[in-house]
Amino acid sequence: MNGVIAHYDGTTWTSWREPQNVYNAIASSAPNDAWVSGADGHMRHFDGVGWTATTYIGATPQGTSAVSGLISFNGIEVVAVSTLKLAYRYRGQAFGRVQPLPFVDPLAASINLAMWSTSAVNVWVATAKGEVFHFDGTDWSLSLLIDPTGAVLASSIWGTSASDVWVGTNGGRVFQFDGVTWTPHDVAGFGLPVTKVWGAGPGDVWAFSVSGAFHWTGTTWTRHVLSATRVLGAEGSGANDIYAVTVPDVNGDALWRWNGIMWTPAPRTGPGAFLPTTRINNVVAIAQDLVFVVANNGHIHRWDGTMWTDDVVEAVAELTLVAGSAPDDVIAASERELFHWDQRQWSAVRPPLDFVPNTLDYLPMTDLSVTPGRVDMLLQKARIRNLLRTRPLTCRSTELDCTDGVDDDCNGLIDRADTSQCP
C-alpha cells in the first residue's frame, strides 16, 4: 500500500499516491517547492505541477537507512538527515525520467541517435532503425518508420513545432512532417548520409552531408560547398548566422560559418582567429555575439563577437554535446557529465545516478535538449532522463514561458499563478 501526500490550498484538499510506503518527513518553502522523504531513502519534489523522484540518499557504506528529517530553506537549499545519523545537502536539481520509449524489452531497444524538443509535451526521438517517436506528455507514439527492414537510420531531428519536424537519414533523404503527413526529400545526392538537420524556420532548413550543405527555401533545395568531411554539429542564431562543425578537411578547417551569402571557414589569423588545440565536436549559437564550441580534453571555446576565449572544464569523457536556451543557460556535456554556463563561468552539474559507469543502470547519453527550466538527456537505449529545476539556475526578470512549469522570476509563483506576469 502506497503512502499518500495531501495538500490543502485554503479551500480543498488534493492528494497524490507516490510509490513509497512510509513517509517520515515533509518540508516546503513555497507552493511550488515541496519535499517528502521516507523509509525507502528516496526524496521526492513537487514543483507546482507534478512530483519527481530525486536522489536516493539512503544507501551508505554501513547499509540502507531511511530519511528521518527534512528542512527546505528555499527551492535550491534542502537539508536531510538519516537514521544512521548522516546529513545530506541538496542544491537545487531534481532528476526524473520521461516515460520510457515503447519497447517491451529495453535491452533489445533501438539505439537512440538524436532528439529534439520544445517542452515536456513535445519530445521527438530518432533511432538507428529509422524510427521517429513522439511524446505528447502522456504517451509515446511511432510517428514514422522510414524502412520496415530497419536498414535506414534516422541520424538527426529538428523542428519548429509539433507540426513542422525534419529528420535526416543515412540514405540521403530528409523527411518533413507537417502535422499529418511525412514527405521525403532527396537532397544529398548519390545516397550520401545526411548527418545533421537544422533550420531558422519552416522555409529555411539546412541538411548537411559529405557532399555539401543543402538549403531548403520552402520550395527547392540548393547545394552549397562546405567541406568534403562529415558534419558533427550545426546550429545558428538566425538565418544569416549559422555554424557547422566538421571533421577537419585537408586544410585543417573544422568550423564553418554561413553569413547569409556563403559558407567560409573560421579565420586562423587576425581578429577573430579560431585556433583550437584539440578536435572540436559540436556547436551552439545563442546569439551573433555568443557562440560555444565544445572540444576534446574539456575545452569549451566561446565567441563574444570579437574574439574566441578557451575555457577548460574537468571532464572525464570527451565533450560532444552542447545546447542552450539563453545566454545564462547553456549546457555542455559528455556521455556522462553535465556542465552549466551562467554567463560568468562553467560549473559542474551533479548528473543522475544512472550516469555513473560500471553500475547496473548505466547508459551513455547520446543527445541533449535545453529549454527554459528544463534539460532533457537522451540515453543510448529505451529512455530519456530530465533535469527539472525547482527554479532556474539563474533567476530572470520575467516569466519566460507561462506554460513550462518553472518559476522563472523566482517569486514563488509558477506560470499563470504569477498573475503579474502571465494573464
| CA 196 from centre of chain | 16
Show the DSSP H helices in 288-391 as ranges. Answer: none
Question: Residue 198's beta-bridge partner residues?
Answer: 206
Pick from 162, 120, 140, 160: which is nearest to 406 by CA? 120
Residue 300 belongs to a domain with what CATH number?
2.130.10.10
Residue 65 structural domain? 4-92
In sequence order, which residues have a C-beta less than 8 Å from that of residue 168 and are 6 or more positions away? 154, 155, 156, 157, 174, 193, 194, 195, 196, 197, 207, 208
**CA torsion 110→111→113→118, rounded to 10°?**
60
Q: Of 123-137, 143-157, 401-415, where does mean pLDDT reach its minimum?
A: 401-415
| 269 in the same domain as 123 | yes
Contact between 386 and 376 under an 8 Å Cβ cutoff? The reply is yes
Over the stretch 113-138, which tens digit does the pLDDT of each residue have?
999 998 878 999 999 999 999 998 88
Instruction: Output 273 or 72, whichever has higher pLDDT.
Output: 273
| 361 in the same domain as 400 | no
Q: Which range among 108-122, 259-273, 369-383, 405-419 has the greatest average pLDDT?
A: 259-273
Contact between 385 and 52 under an 8 Å Cβ cutoff? The reply is no
Euclidean distance between CA atoms 213 and 26, whole angstroms = 55
Query: What was the pLDDT predicted at 199?
Result: 95
Query: What was the pLDDT predicted at 79?
Result: 77
| 263 in the same domain as 291 | yes
| 350 in the same domain as 228 | yes
Euclidean distance between CA atoms 338 and 104, whole angstroms = 30
Residue with cell 528555499: 74
Query: What was the pLDDT predicted at 59?
Result: 44
Over the stretch 175-188, which tens digit does the pLDDT of each residue have?
999 999 999 998 86
| 337 in the same domain as 241 | yes
Percent of the chain's residues with pLDDT above 70: 78
Residue with cell 560555444: 292
pTM: 0.75
Three cell numbers, residue 403: 506554460
Instruction: Map residue 108 onto helix, strand or coil.
Output: helix
Domain count, the chain: 3
Counting DSSP H helices and E strands in the chain, the numbers are: 0, 39
Supply the Cα-derived Rg of the chain in whole angstroms.
23
In sequence order, which residues have a C-beta less than 8 Å from that of residue 61 and are 6 or more positions away? none
Over the stretch 184-224, which tens digit does the pLDDT of each residue have?
998 866 678 899 999 999 899 999 988 789 999 999 999 99
Pick from 306, 347, 300: which is nearest to 319 by CA? 300
Residue with cell 589569423: 269
